[in-house]
Amino acid sequence: MNDGLCTYYCACCGERNETFVDASAGNRQSYVEDCRVCCRPNVLTISIDEETDAIHVEAEFEG
């Protein structure tokens, strides 16, 4: 499995952010991370493709 630095866009301000995904935590993950620009919380939903190890990150505003 691949660990990696991934990009997502803040659900509030739309700015680009990066997060480190720890693949050892499973193929489906969810956690809250504050935007580095506007400081608002984003719920990140991580999915890792079992065949390709591709990591997909979705962000939703926690509010």
Does any domain span residue 6?
Answer: yes
Does any domain span residue 62?
Answer: no
**Cβ-based neighbours of 19, under 8 Å, separated by 6 or more:** 5, 6, 8, 33, 44, 57
Does any domain span residue 27?
Answer: yes
Q: What total of structural domains would you count in the chain?
A: 1
Does any domain span residue 8?
Answer: yes
User: What is the domain extent for residue 30?
Assistant: 1-42
Does any domain span residue 17?
Answer: yes
pLDDT of 58: 97
Does any domain span residue 53?
Answer: no
User: Distance between CA 11 and CA 59 in Å, rounded?
Assistant: 6
| pLDDT, tens digit (0-9, with 9 covering 90-100), for 15-42 | 999 999 998 999 999 999 999 999 999 9
Regarding pTM above 0.75, the answer is yes
